[in-house]
Structure 1
């Protein structure tokens, strides 16, 4: 049956293989992938987990102390837009991109006839964010830009697409998305950047300012702008690709830039100005700044005035990537906490022997299990939709049309914003408590939990704040009838539960599912203001019910296969998120976390016959 992990063997959560230590991620990716894809990907993820746990983890700490620097002008006062990176960042870049983190999801890797599913990309990104969530940002945006060009470009931008999905670092370009403007923020329709077509130059030219531009010097940036004569609001926005270099000179790759051994000459650059870098709390690895477009050369992506619809497709992947990054931060914070608790002694015992610490570690582990299960279930659905689209089975040809009326699409419209809003908050909470477990050391720069918390704090902000996403959930429910496929997914999972060890938990989830349905019916009769007031509670409620049903389904399968550990995880999640406990559980005699500690925290296997006994004993004591 295997054995648990002795975290007392480690000094800290680095110089280890993150893939091999993360049995939760292994289980969820195996479930989310077909057998052939998982078999192909597993050894590569093991190699990647080794590289991230050693070289990239060390480099990330150095880059956090010696981040990118912007030199807008050269010594003669001419614009050069040069971002200087530490050598350690270039080393990490080459290792990560050449491992196929983006490429494998778009182009068939050597030895395969088709690309890997998006689920594989999400797992790889999650492992990367064990070491550096800041670096995860440009990787996610590169994938997002590749998705947009794959879906909407008519072929004119093929060289940029090939650069985005290159496995050769010298041929690679990175992507970015410059969407936010100071006066608009989340109100994308308020964007003021304009676009005019230059017939003489046979290109579009953008003029305006972008306020929060991450990966500021990416070679292939997507930006929204309003063409002359276009209507106001989101309906009038078009999507453009804005190169870092002068597009007349061809695509400027990483190899091209390396040959300059410094900033490219001014004549090789596009007409724009990187005004300054933001002095950020965290995610130092990715330079974020302000950009002024000044008749900047650009290429139209797809159809005019379809930019907002194209952006939503990109945001679906970006938000899911943000959720995977959140899981990566949670995984590293949990690992650091397990190691600290297993090695730190107080009063003659390691601190993971004390009941309060055991309860904290169990609940941190269950949160991680829940977040990872949810994200990779959504990743599975996203992967299936992308496979169907590439095979011409959706009927939409990549546009927003009849093919997007499917149940899977409507379900994704609901689940993706929930994934991002919930996991971003969970990452902050988990990183914060991981810092506390380290004690005073956790608060200083010498220890990684300091950086984990600083990096985590942006995850609820990137790609839409919790309030914005909650309103998006309401729109998905009201305008696209997303609750119908959501209900079908929950009911199918609850109907699969048959093992007596999880019967009580399944009954609790069924009752809460009914209550959630009643809440939606009640909201339908309320005025819009009250519906907005309830949006955040509703989004979290959907997450809890869906995740509980998902964990119970996994528990049922694992029980049938001879392991009861997931059943204990599901039990705890239901108890903490959905059960009402008298006197906050103090009078109930519940010792579940003490009985289940070895299994949930250290991955010790559980005999299915003992699951019911554990639950009964803890309830009766």
Structure 2
């Protein structure tokens, strides 16, 4: 092991450290997708944020999760309050995230030391780091940005004060956003929503009536909600979008009843509850009956946030597992020295690399589309395809990774003080937030059928695979090209089969899309790293990913003679970020083929 490798034995646990400096995977992907001038600025900001998270917020998040919050619907005289009584440390978290680091500000207004705003890729990277310590708090942070995106795109200026509040860097002026979609009878079927909006004598001002069943960040002043105006058609076509604050501009509490907070498994730091609108004052966003289209814009960002949040949870869980494996001895030997655990850590690390690569590519094309504003573009088609896949895949991967990290910590991992218990509770909501797996798989079909996303996808993958020319990568690329042909066959089959057949296979199609695109991305990254840094580490990652996704081994590989994941060089490179001489990869490939 060279001096480039990280010695996780120097840590007692996954805190009191700098998450940005330790996560070279996240650094690599951010450097890849940021414009050069933005990354040069952002690198220092991300490092400072990673240090604050590791040395301070890792502790505050644990304490907030343990204590929780309380709802005060009424005061002692029976007057409506609709207030959440937060743990005192929440204010400190808000100061760090909103004021000190401008997470909801810098994509809309120039940071203090820049002349122009940065792209939303920076926001998503900051949120990935934040999720290392608190994916629950990341929820209102994300929804604040999401609500600002909607107002920035579709408000005619009447709600400018709310936009300024959502994007303010001064905490005294800052407000948070929310997205109230779910109704008890509708669930994921948003078109079944029944909350109604009655017009008033004031232009653009309505009164909302009805119930929202799952309202995260329930007390947000910048909450967006879908409702149906009188005589509007059925389904999503009849929905309008409204901004409905907790308090009216006069300072009075709005005419809503916050019935209760949900007693949730995890994400305790974000209060989630039920709201009954009783004539609540609300303000129309854009045009009537265009609400679902507007909310879809926010949903794209929130689904990406779900993916980058999953990355943060996976990264923290993997860090806790690496530290434990380096420090825990069994039978007189650190457990990271045992072949079986080495294989597990290698596969967990490769899963993480895959999740980060795909999610950040989705963030890249999303950011490109946001910067250009073009919907008739390859970036838009790829964004529509990649975003639901990223959310679906990383959510499940986060649950698996945190669960196994807990196992590596043993009994301690099941105890609150050791963090993996909270990570697993928090991760379990990720497959549910922003649409469950089946809904996302159906959205993949819509992207292919309505946006013709395959027209951008096929040349995109082909170009990446054709650019691979290093001898150590060519055999891997050949396997991916074969899987790519399978993907094209699958797309052709679905094009001629009926809708029921396509729905039945939609999730497996999404799996195949993720695996092929991720493999092509990792190969491209490996080629770049060999050419630019003379380092073959990403090549090992790509090789392992392809072997575990597309390999066809007899007896589950037991009879193969393959022992690569247990070798010192492979383990140190993939798990500890040690560098690899690219020439050694060619030699290893030659030996494997003999």
In the superposition, the TM-score normalised over structure 2's length comes to 0.98
User: How far apart are 1:611 and its partner, in Å?
Assistant: 1.5
How many residue pairs align between the two structures? 589
- The answer to whether the aligner puts 1:387 opposite 2:387 as a matched pair is no
8 Å CA contact 2:204–2:284 kept in 1: the answer is no
Q: Deviations over 1:78-97 (max 9, x none)?
A: 21111011111111111111
- The answer to whether the aligner puts 1:97 opposite 2:98 as a matched pair is yes
Provide the secondary structure at the position in 2 that maps to 1:446: helix
Structure 2 CA distance for partners of 1:388 and 1:15, relative to 1, 3 Å: same
- In the alignment, what sits opposite 1:278? 262
- The answer to whether the aligner puts 1:140 opposite 2:106 as a matched pair is no
Provide the secondary structure at the position in 2 that maps to 1:588: coil
Counterpart Cα distance in 1 of 2:253 and 2:437: 37
Q: Deviations over 1:13-65 (max 9, x none)?
A: 01110000000000100000111100001001000001111211101100111
Counterpart Cα distance in 1 of 2:145 and 2:202: 33
- In the alignment, what sits opposite 2:508? 537
- In the alignment, what sits opposite 1:550? 521
8 Å CA contact 1:55–1:92 kept in 2: the answer is no
- The answer to whether the aligner puts 1:225 opposite 2:227 as a matched pair is yes
- In the alignment, what sits opposite 1:265? none
User: How far apart are 1:592 and its partner, in Å?
Assistant: 1.4
User: How far apart are 1:374 and its partner, in Å?
Assistant: 0.8
Q: Deviations over 1:129-170 (max 9, x none)?
A: 000110111011001001000000000111110111111111
Q: Which moved more, 1:481-490 or 1:457-466?
A: 481-490
- 1:335-484 alignment, distance < 5 Å: 335-389=319-373, 394=374, 404-484=375-455
1:317 to 294, 301, 305: 301
- 1:205-216 alignment, distance < 5 Å: 205-216=207-218
Structure 2 CA distance for partners of 1:308 and 1:153, relative to 1, 3 Å: same
- In the alignment, what sits opposite 2:580? 606
- In the alignment, what sits opposite 1:399? none
Counterpart Cα distance in 1 of 2:44 and 2:389: 31
Counterpart Cα distance in 2 of 1:202 and 1:582: 66
- In the alignment, what sits opposite 1:3? 4
2:535 to 563, 567, 572: 563
- In the alignment, what sits opposite 1:586? 558
Gaps of 5+ in 1: 250-267, 395-403
Structure 2 CA distance for partners of 1:551 and 1:199, relative to 1, 3 Å: same
- In the alignment, what sits opposite 2:498? 527
Counterpart Cα distance in 2 of 1:372 and 1:529: 32
Q: Deviations over 1:278-331 (max 9, x none)?
A: 000000000000001011001000111100000111100000010000000000
Counterpart Cα distance in 1 of 2:88 and 2:588: 53
8 Å CA contact 1:590–1:619 kept in 2: the answer is no
Provide the secondary structure at the position in 1 that maps to 2:302: helix
Counterpart Cα distance in 2 of 1:371 and 1:477: 22
* Aligned alpha-carbon RMSD (Å): 1.2
8 Å CA contact 1:592–1:618 kept in 2: the answer is no
Q: Deviations over 1:100-131 (max 9, x none)?
A: 11111121112222211111111100000000
- In the alignment, what sits opposite 1:508? 479
Counterpart Cα distance in 1 of 2:204 and 2:111: 36
8 Å CA contact 1:152–1:301 kept in 2: the answer is yes
- 1:176-325 alignment, distance < 5 Å: 176-199=178-201, 203-249=205-251, 268-325=252-309
Counterpart Cα distance in 2 of 1:160 and 1:312: 20
Q: Deviations over 1:515-546 (max 9, x none)?
A: 11101111222221111110000001100000
- In the alignment, what sits opposite 1:67? 68
Structure 2 CA distance for partners of 1:201 and 1:536, relative to 1, 3 Å: closer
Q: Deviations over 1:331-368 (max 9, x none)?
A: 00000000000000001100000001100000000011
- In the alignment, what sits opposite 1:259? none
Counterpart Cα distance in 1 of 2:272 and 2:588: 50
User: How far apart are 1:616 and its partner, in Å?
Assistant: 4.4
8 Å CA contact 2:21–2:50 kept in 1: the answer is yes
1:115 to 95, 100, 117: 117
Counterpart Cα distance in 2 of 1:202 and 1:149: 14
- The answer to whether the aligner puts 1:52 opposite 2:53 as a matched pair is yes
Counterpart Cα distance in 2 of 1:46 and 1:474: 39
8 Å CA contact 1:591–1:618 kept in 2: the answer is no
8 Å CA contact 1:592–1:614 kept in 2: the answer is no
Q: Which moved more, 1:404-413 or 1:532-541?
A: 404-413
Counterpart Cα distance in 1 of 2:116 and 2:55: 30
Provide the secondary structure at the position in 2 that maps to 1:212: strand
Counterpart Cα distance in 2 of 1:456 and 1:48: 22
8 Å CA contact 1:319–1:417 kept in 2: the answer is yes
Counterpart Cα distance in 2 of 1:95 and 1:311: 28
2:549 to 577, 588, 594: 577
Provide the secondary structure at the position in 1 that maps to 2:211: strand
Counterpart Cα distance in 2 of 1:176 and 1:2: 46
Q: Deviations over 1:237-260 (max 9, x none)?
A: 0000001111344xxxxxxxxxxx
User: How far apart are 1:66 and its partner, in Å?
Assistant: 0.4
- In the alignment, what sits opposite 1:326? 310
Counterpart Cα distance in 2 of 1:617 and 1:553: 24
Q: Which moved more, 1:580-589 or 1:543-552?
A: 580-589
Counterpart Cα distance in 1 of 2:270 and 2:136: 5
- 1:164-183 alignment, distance < 5 Å: 164-183=166-185
In the superposition, the TM-score normalised over structure 1's length comes to 0.93
8 Å CA contact 1:247–1:297 kept in 2: the answer is no
8 Å CA contact 1:493–1:553 kept in 2: the answer is yes
